[in-house]
């Protein structure tokens, strides 16, 4: 084992600056801590940065996805296509409506595979059994591609397929703030979250920017935006800021049974300053990814994440290293244990959703339905990648991955 066991690199460490701290203090001193002027400002600056007409600040990306499905009118029994290689939230929001998540396998880039997406929609349209589900089917209404780790899906194909099958696209852009995509080297870059009807971002602690917990829904569709705003706050036709200030009146009406998903001004205070630094934060992650790529490219036991720089600008929210298990004498879990023993914190994104007990029990999913996700997840390790990671910490991760690879080489 390396001599350098004193260094401990956590999977993630949040570092907020004086700007965030001062703004939170100012919010606390202002006498207004719930949704108010700072949240309005955060929304306005977010919308401007992404070039969209509406940004709705919420307390999570899960809330944004839920409200997005509500706004497009998802009904009980509707089918919603989701990747199996994603976080719980992408599919659970479908279940909130008693609608049915139809899983699709990922491709080599870990994003939803457009060919399999197309085949799934064709089969559903023809009322054939698909993805573990059996006809009769109700309406196929939406799909939620998710940009894995901040690496954009093949959105051109996805949009074309969605149009052909008349399905509404909502992007789970939880990982992908300022990730960009273009179908080829000559096209204009497009921002993740802006390539569909509604985009959802997360500001959870380790995301591209954080507000502690938080999220944002964005859309250029005014009807969807109005509905999301309404449902984010109990279905009341006026929010608290408007009711309790000089601008407003005490009177409101409840026009729908909404939810309680608003973001506080305390959280937005953090978000305003995080957003102003988002490019700087991304550049730091990019530099770490470059260091990792250079180092791990030399090791036969591991595979670096795909990154086609002619068509993608990566947020590097995650650095998913893949183990070449045939070249190692240990499995992924033991590899993680070995790294932990050497002071490197790791995570795994994710066990595919269809393998989780809830989905197995509810839909009877069995093994081999989604072979790529099932194979890839067994060799995935998310390494530490965060803006405040020091050069020494990056070097330690490189050295320890190399050491474990060498020690357990077949
Ligand atoms: C892909 C994906 N979608 C949605 C979410 C939900 O985000 P939040 O925790 O802000 O609700 C996450 C959270 O990690 C995620 O990874």
Domain extents in the chain: 18-276, 278-407
Ligand 1 centroid to Cα of residue 86, in Å, is 9
Ligand 1 atom with least separation from CA of 64: 11
Tell me which H or E stretch contains 156: helix 155-165
Ligand 1 atom with least separation from CA of 215: 10
What backbone phi and psi angles, to 5 degrees, belong to 127? 60, 40
Fold of 18-276: 3.40.640
**pLDDT at residue number 251:** 84
Cα dist. 311→188, 292, 308, 315, 318 in Å? 10, 21, 6, 13, 18
Fold of 278-407: 3.90.1150
Ligand 1 centroid to Cα of residue 138, in Å, is 27
- Cα distance between residue 400 and residue 188, in whole Å: 40
Ligand 1 centroid to Cα of residue 67, in Å, is 14
- Cα distance between residue 285 and residue 337, in whole Å: 24
Ligand 1 pocket by C-beta < 6 Å: which residues? 60-62, 86-87, 89-90, 146, 172, 174-175, 202, 204, 215
Ligand 1 centroid to Cα of residue 182, in Å, is 24
**pLDDT at residue number 4:** 53
Q: Which of 57, 60, 61 best tests ligand 1's pocket when mutated (most atoms within 8 Å of CB)? A: 61
Which residue has its alpha carbon closest to ligand 1 atom 14? 87
Ligand 1 centroid to Cα of residue 243, in Å, is 31
Q: Which two tokens stand for residue 262?
A: 């608003």
Ligand 1 centroid to Cα of residue 242, in Å, is 30
Query: b/e map of 28-66 (b: 16 or more CB within 10 Å)?
Result: eeeebeebbebbebbbebbbebbebebbbbbbbbbbbbb
What backbone phi and psi angles, to 5 degrees, belong to 59? -85, 0
**H helices then E strands: how many in the chain?**
14, 13
**pLDDT at residue number 367:** 84
**pLDDT at residue number 149:** 98
**pLDDT at residue number 6:** 82
Q: Which of 92, 110, 204 best tests ligand 1's pocket when mutated (most atoms within 8 Å of CB)? A: 204
**pLDDT at residue number 250:** 81
Which residue has its alpha carbon closest to ligand 1 atom 7? 61
Q: Is 18-276's fold the same as 278-407's?
A: no
Ligand 1 centroid to Cα of residue 328, in Å, is 32
- Cα distance between residue 408 and residue 166, in whole Å: 50
C-beta of residue 211 within 8 angstroms of C-beta of residue 270: yes
Q: Where are the strands (E) in 325-403, listed by range?
A: 380-383
SS3 213: coil
**pLDDT at residue number 5:** 61
Q: CA torsion sign, 241 to 245 to 246 to 250? A: positive
The number of beta carbons lying within 10 Å of the beta carbon of residue 204 is 16
Ligand 1 centroid to Cα of residue 15, in Å, is 20
pLDDT in tens, 152-176: 999 999 999 999 999 999 999 999 9
Which residue has its alpha carbon closest to ligand 1 atom 16? 87
**pLDDT at residue number 124:** 96
**pLDDT at residue number 303:** 98
* Burial bucket for residue 301 (CB in 10 Å: 0-12, 13-18, 19+): buried
Ligand 1 atom with least separation from CA of 172: 3
Q: Where are the strands (E) in 9-88, listed by range?
A: 54-58, 79-83
Task: Tell me which residue has tokens 């969605």.
Answer: 162
Ligand 1 atom with least separation from CA of 214: 10
pLDDT in tens, 312-331: 999 999 999 999 999 999 99
Ligand 1 centroid to Cα of residue 146, in Å, is 10
Ligand 1 atom with least separation from CA of 148: 1
Ligand 1 centroid to Cα of residue 296, in Å, is 28
Ligand 1 centroid to Cα of residue 149, in Å, is 11
Strand partners, 181: 190, 312
Q: Which of 202, 270, 382 best tests ligand 1's pocket when mutated (most atoms within 8 Å of CB)? A: 202
Whether pTM exceeds 0.75: yes
Which pLDDT tens digits describe the chain residue by residue (410 residues)? 444 568 999 999 999 999 999 999 999 999 999 999 999 999 999 999 999 999 999 999 999 999 999 999 999 999 999 999 999 999 999 999 999 999 999 999 999 999 999 999 999 999 999 988 999 999 999 999 999 999 999 999 999 999 999 999 999 999 999 999 999 999 999 999 999 999 999 999 999 999 999 999 999 999 999 999 999 999 998 776 666 676 677 888 899 999 999 999 999 999 999 999 999 999 999 999 999 999 999 999 999 999 999 999 999 999 999 999 999 999 999 999 999 999 999 999 999 999 999 999 999 998 889 999 999 999 999 999 999 999 999 999 999 999 999 999 99
Ligand 1 atom with least separation from CA of 213: 10
**pLDDT at residue number 249:** 76
**pLDDT at residue number 289:** 98
- Cα distance between residue 41 and residue 24, in whole Å: 14
Listing DSSP states for 8-28 in one string gives -B-S------HHHHHHHHHHH
């Amino acid at each position: 084992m390396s001599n350098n066991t004193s260094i401990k690199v956590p999977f993630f460490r949040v570092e907020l600056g004086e700007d965030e701290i001062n703004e939170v203090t100012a919010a606390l001193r202002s006498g207004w801590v719930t949704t108010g002027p700072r949240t309005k400002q955060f929304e306005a600056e977010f919308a401007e940065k992404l070039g969209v007409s509406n940004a709705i600040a919420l307390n999570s990306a899960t809330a944004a996805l839920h409200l997005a499905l509500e706004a497009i009118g998802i009904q009980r029994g509707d089918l919603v296509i989701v990747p199996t290689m994603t976080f719980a939230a992408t599919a659970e929001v479908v279940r909130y409506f008693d609608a049915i998540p139809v899983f699709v396998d990922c491709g080599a880039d870990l994003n939803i595979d457009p060919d399999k997406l197309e085949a799934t929609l064709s089969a559903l349209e023809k009322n054939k059994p698909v993805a573990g589900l059996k006809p009769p089917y109700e309406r196929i209404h939406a799909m939620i591609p998710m940009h894995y780790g901040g690496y954009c899906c093949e959105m051109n194909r996805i949009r074309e397929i969605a149009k052909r099958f008349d399905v509404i696209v909502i992007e789970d852009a939880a990982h992908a703030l300022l990730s960009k995509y273009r179908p080829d080297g000559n096209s204009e870059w497009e921002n993740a979250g802006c390539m569909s009807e509604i985009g959802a971002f997360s500001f959870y602690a380790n995301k591209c920017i954080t507000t502690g917990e938080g999220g944002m829904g964005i859309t250029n569709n005014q009807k969807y935006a109005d509905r999301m705003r309404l449902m984010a706050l109990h279905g009341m036709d006026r929010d608290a800021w408007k009711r309790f200030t000089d601008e407003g009146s005490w009177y409101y009406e409840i026009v729908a049974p909404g939810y309680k998903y608003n973001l506080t001004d305390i959280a937005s205070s953090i978000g305003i300053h995080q957003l102003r630094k988002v490019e700087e934060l991304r550049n730091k992650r990019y530099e770490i990814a470059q260091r990792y790529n250079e180092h791990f490219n030399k090791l036969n036991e591991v595979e670096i994440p795909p990154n086609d720089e002619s068509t993608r600008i990566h947020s590097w929210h995650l650095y998913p290293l893949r183990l070449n298990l045939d070249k190692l004498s240990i499995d992924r879990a033991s590899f993680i244990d070995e790294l932990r023993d050497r002071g490197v914190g790791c995570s795994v994104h994710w066990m595919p959703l269809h393998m989780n007990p809830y989905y197995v029990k509810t839909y009877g999913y069995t093994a081999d339905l989604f072979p790529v996700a099932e194979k890839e997840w067994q060799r995935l390790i998310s390494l530490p990648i965060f803006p405040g990671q020091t050069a020494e910490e990056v070097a330690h991760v490189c050295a320890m991955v190399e050491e474990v690879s060498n020690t357990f080489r077949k």
